[in-house]
Structure 1
Amino acid sequence: METRQAGVLLHITSLPSSVKEQARAEKSRLGQIDQQAWHFVDWMHGADLAIWQLLPLTHTHSDGSPYHALSAFALDPKFLPETISNDAIDADAFAVFQQTHQAWLDDYALFMVLRDEFAQQAWYDWPESLKKRDVQSLAAFAKSHAEQLLRVKQQQFLLFTQWLKLKTYANQKKVRLFGDMPLFVALDSADVWANQDLFKLDEQANPEVVAGVPPDYFSETGQRWGNPHYDWQRMEQDGFAWWHLRVRHSLSLFDWLRIDHFRGLESCWEIDADEPTAINGRWVPTPGNELLQSLLRDFDELPLIAEDLGVITDEVLALKDKFGLPGMAVMQFGFDGLPDNPHALHAQTANTVVYSGTHDNDTTLGWWQGLDDNTQTWIASQLKPLVGPVIEQTDLDNSMPWWLVVAVMLSKANKAIIPMQDFLMLDSTHRMNTPGTVDHNWQWQFDWSQVPESLAENIAILVEACQRSGFEYKENQDG
């Protein structure tokens, strides 16, 4: 018996801004954890959507990418509404927070104040004593910057308090929060600075090898991400303590957690740091089996989702299946006509999270508009007879992107996730991210004026018609 549910993919920054129009020139338009987030949960509840998937909530660098963070633990300060002040802090609750999060909070606060001290320079360019974390030097700096350190910790306390209030409210509305955890961390991060022995760094704290993926159909030179690799042998020595801390921390914020680049838990593409591209890398096995076994001994259950997109080996699939982790399917990838395509509607299985597209895809309407006429005709011939009768129960257009949205809803996959852009029928100009580019990403935001009054009701009809209202469901109940 499995519960079939539907949800929406929308990052916090993509929520409407609560800042009044006249003030937007002076303040960020990006969404925050404010009344707009509560309003969105209410809208989801009315649409019978039970899953809210978000991108990583961690503190980003200036590029705004949630997958390139200053910390794997700290929440992004830009999420904190301006109306919430440090002056209103509950001293006892703040003390408990500091004690509970001491394992990462002290280092993060030091890291951020030091970055301010050195004009946002990366930690590996700081003076040697601070770069190498000389105890006396750090203690002297902390003593002379106590007020700044306190403000950083207070800000995190307010962010966590606000987020957990939202999570409680969402859960009360029968909405579960679905988070995202990148496998790798950024070189310029509090995590690497504070745990240099856990990464493959040389004596000057420079990476010996960096992460990426090899050349493939999409790139002749592969992708050189630049993240430092973990020293997995060192991590095994203390039972993967850093990973236990990270996973426990993340699961305190979310009901489910996606492991981005799950493939890297079986083996990683290592590139010598002096190589300019990813061409001359090599696959190096990683102890993902031992890590997951260790986590299972520490947790009653592991509500993890494996991001298994791209070229995935039998070994990776075996690791995912051994621990019963759901994988992913993306409907936009499901129409190449090949019989072994795991994204094709007929090939999807129950233990899967299926999407019309992800944050890295074009919107479904944009994807559709980019196809040639013959491909559009063929896809329409495949989908329209299947989804048309469902769409006709609503007053929605019997066209794209609704054809793909309903196909996702009809999938055998237990969890079906639709990006908000697809619910709003938006084109490529509303894309969240274009991989391999740095401009105009992570900035998309919707406005309530784009949401038809009847949209939630129509989505609820689709959810019910596709048997995703959260009831217990047998895959073979209809034969």
Structure 2
Amino acid sequence: MKEGTHYASFTSSACAKAWRKVGARRRAGVATPLFSIYSKSSIGIGEIPDLKRLVDWCVKTGISLIQLLPLNDVAFDFRPYDAQSSTALDPMYLSLDHLVSCDLKLFSKEVAVLRRKFPAGKGRVNYEVKAAKLDLLKKIFSHQSTDLKDKKFSAFRKKQSGWLSDYAVFKALKVKFNAAGWMDWPEEFRNRNSDVMDQVEKECADEILFNQWLQWQLYQQLSEVKHYATGLGVLLMGDMPFLVSRDSSDVWANQDYFKLDLSSGAPPDLYFAKGQRWGMPPYHWERIAADGYKYLTRKMRYLENFFDLYRVDHFVGMFRLWTIPVSEPAERAGVAGTFDPPVESDWKEHGRRILDVMTRETTMLPCAEDLGTVPKCSYEILDEYKIPGSDVQRWVRNWNTDMTFKSTDHYRPNGMAMLSTHDTSAFCAWWEYEAGTVDEEFFAKKCAEAGMNFDQVRARLFDLDASAHGRSRWKTEISDLEKFLSVIGRKKEEAWHLAEAFLGTYNERNLYWKYLGLEGVPAKKASGLLVRKALEAVNGTCSVFSLQLLQDWLALENYPGRNDWEYRINVPGSMASSNWSLVSPFSLEKMMTLPMNRDIRAIVARTNREVSK
């Protein structure tokens, strides 16, 4: 795919300012949570300075874009999209070796003990490291050698007071009330009685200052990473969740900006018969607008200190959001919800107003997570503004015709082409366990709705020996729709959900194999050849960005003990202990020496994506 007219209109769009800054050019990128990477100096988890080593790896491989999952303070729940602040960063990512305005030599032994107790790179993150780090950070903060009157610290507190003061008080009150949600605090604290707040600032002054100091240290370290990446031609993309946790400093300090009697979620669909209820309160956009959108612009401007681009999670929520009364019984999930705004003809302009503020107030380029059920107006706005949307290769297919995978030149130019996301299986697991299969729970549910007994048809439809992880693989003899309908004893119109599931999956492996230009019978496992061909295809699309999970790039490296199914960041809708804890099989130092680096650089160059310096 050569540079051409695909991107010429980007620099004359509503996002022209941002496109001129980052360059409307083809780039290859890597996506990873910070908690997944580590270096020899990391203590228990990826630390902010480790990102410099990731930048170095990008330079070596030709990659010029890094996307990070949210770095916001999650307290002790460790779910990056459910943070206690949409602005404050998480102190567990601080490097103790890079703190400023303190005498680190005085604490070298304690740092060494912590490093031995929490070695990085052990398969899954041991989040106990956060409490241990905070204990030592508090000790460093409280030591007489630490300069709390540093002029830069004072300037930071003053400049960021719009959000920092509320956040620091919120954290102090969390300590006072033993981590209880603010909704359960005494009324005078819930409602921020001015006299009570004045008293809190006096009684909790040390704890408040400590939390401000932590945020300053985080600011210093992440700003340095941004400066380093810019110097080497590598762009950084942050992640800005559209919704905010109910138990957050944002909501506590700005209750008028949220509809606290409602919960956001998703309407009933094929997979969730009762819909979903996420818990985050919807925004009260009329009040935010009446206040000049200062709540939104403040956090956008802070994010700009660290990133060139930002990904908006649940981008479609800017147009309309499914909302459910909190009084609804939990077992009804999202059944009793309505869209906000309720009138579809209002959605486009509603989203446009919010997006105009976001694009006007920052030079960062917005990028959209627009997966799932997407209203037409979202695609129209993304095209008008030339905002990159998300195109996951396994789902970019001709669903209304022959189910084939769309050719590389039929992707959106304003797109981010990817093999996987943090909410899906990685490529190798998809190929081995999911491609050519159907979700067993979904299929059983649709059988029941069609008046069928799933257990009676299961063994006749599926190769049970080749099925695993809740995925059912079709028997080879069930090779067309007529045979499928014959086995289930239904006409297509009587079981169209089941028929669609069959048509979309039974020949998936063969279609993908052919899409990559491979010959013969599709391999059962993801070989090095298949991985390379998949990466060449996704990088060869006309999408301006190709953005691959770190584990999909690392799949080029054949290493012992690899468990592709377990090598996953998150399983949506589950509370699995493995969620949000995945750690890379290689340290950043080891990554610099891997033979696959040459292959990555060759793929980047061969698909005409801009090579980093």
The TM-score range, normalised by the shorter chain, is 0.7 to 0.9
Aligned to 2:548: 418
Aligned to 2:248: 189
Aligned to 2:225: 166
Kindly report the root-mean-square deviation, in angstroms, between the aligned alpha carbons of the 2 structures.
2.3
Residue 291 of structure 1: CA displacement?
A: 1.9
Aligned to 1:6: 28
Would you say the 8 A contact 2:398–2:405 is kept in 1? no
Separation in 2 of the partners of 1:189 and 1:146? 20
> Does 1:402 pair with 2:535?
no
Residue 77 of structure 1: CA displacement?
A: 0.9
Aligned to 2:295: 242
Separation in 1 of the partners of 2:382 and 2:402? 19
Separation in 1 of the partners of 2:159 and 2:232? 28
Separation in 2 of the partners of 1:194 and 1:296? 25
What letter is aligned with 1:280? A
Q: Structure 1's 454 and 17: CA in aligned 2 closer, same or farther, altered over 3 A?
A: closer
What letter is aligned with 1:349? R
Aligned to 2:59: 45
Q: Structure 1's 293 and 375: CA in aligned 2 closer, same or farther, altered over 3 A?
A: closer
Say which is worse superposed, 57-66 or 404-413, in terms of deviation.
Answer: 57-66
Q: Structure 1's 288 and 191: CA in aligned 2 closer, same or farther, altered over 3 A?
A: same
Aligned to 1:477: none
SS of residue in 2 equivalent to 1:32:
coil
Identity %: 30
> Does 1:382 pair with 2:515?
yes
> Does 1:454 pair with 2:517?
no
Aligned to 1:141: 200
What letter is aligned with 2:26? R
> Does 1:29 pair with 2:166?
no
Separation in 2 of the partners of 1:345 and 1:459? 22
Unaligned runs of 5+ residues in structure 2 are 1-7, 9-23, 100-139, 342-346, 437-475, 477-506, 520-525, 556-561
What letter is aligned with 1:3? R
Say which is worse superposed, 252-261 or 343-352, in terms of deviation.
Answer: 343-352
Alignment deviations for residues 191-228 of structure 1 (CA, whole Å, 9 cap, x no partner): 0000011111xxxxxx2111011112222122210101
> Does 1:281 pair with 2:344?
no
SS of residue in 1 equivalent to 2:153:
helix
Alignment deviations for residues 376-432 of structure 1 (CA, whole Å, 9 cap, x no partner): 23311211359xxxxxxxxx9653332322211101001001101111226121100
* Residue number among 414, 429, 436 corresponding to 1:366 in the alignment: 429
Separation in 1 of the partners of 2:549 and 2:403? 22
Alignment deviations for residues 227-258 of structure 1 (CA, whole Å, 9 cap, x no partner): 01111111121221111112222222210011
Aligned to 1:390: none
What letter is aligned with 1:433? N
> Does 1:121 pair with 2:251?
no
Say which is worse superposed, 344-353 or 304-313, in terms of deviation.
Answer: 344-353
Q: Which structure: greater helix fraction?
A: 2
Separation in 1 of the partners of 2:364 and 2:212? 29
Aligned to 2:582: 444
Say which is worse superposed, 166-175 or 10-19, in terms of deviation.
Answer: 10-19
Separation in 2 of the partners of 1:349 and 1:42? 30
Would you say the 8 A contact 2:535–2:603 is kept in 1? no
**Residue-pair matches, total:** 447
Separation in 1 of the partners of 2:429 and 2:147? 46
Aligned to 1:25: none
Residue 103 of structure 1: CA displacement?
A: 0.4
Alignment deviations for residues 134-162 of structure 1 (CA, whole Å, 9 cap, x no partner): 11101111101111111111111001100
Aligned to 2:128: none
Q: Structure 1's 17 and 126: CA in aligned 2 closer, same or farther, altered over 3 A?
A: farther
Residue 313 of structure 1: CA displacement?
A: 1.5
Query: TM-score, normalising length from structure 2?
Result: 0.69
Separation in 2 of the partners of 1:421 and 1:384? 24
Would you say the 8 A contact 2:34–2:68 is kept in 1? yes
Would you say the 8 A contact 1:335–1:379 is kept in 2? no
Would you say the 8 A contact 1:257–1:304 is kept in 2? yes
Separation in 1 of the partners of 2:544 and 2:153? 39
Residue 322 of structure 1: CA displacement?
A: 3.2
What letter is aligned with 1:97? F
SS of residue in 2 equivalent to 1:429:
coil
Would you say the 8 A contact 2:398–2:404 is kept in 1? no
What letter is aligned with 1:435? P
Q: Structure 1's 303 and 340: CA in aligned 2 closer, same or farther, altered over 3 A?
A: farther
Q: Structure 1's 177 and 340: CA in aligned 2 closer, same or farther, altered over 3 A?
A: farther
Separation in 1 of the partners of 2:585 and 2:402? 40
> Does 1:311 pair with 2:373?
yes
SS of residue in 2 equivalent to 1:119:
coil
> Does 1:466 pair with 2:607?
yes
SS of residue in 2 equivalent to 1:58:
coil
Q: Structure 1's 90 and 12: CA in aligned 2 closer, same or farther, altered over 3 A?
A: farther
Aligned to 1:103: 162
Query: TM-score, normalising length from structure 1?
Result: 0.88
> Does 1:208 pair with 2:261?
yes
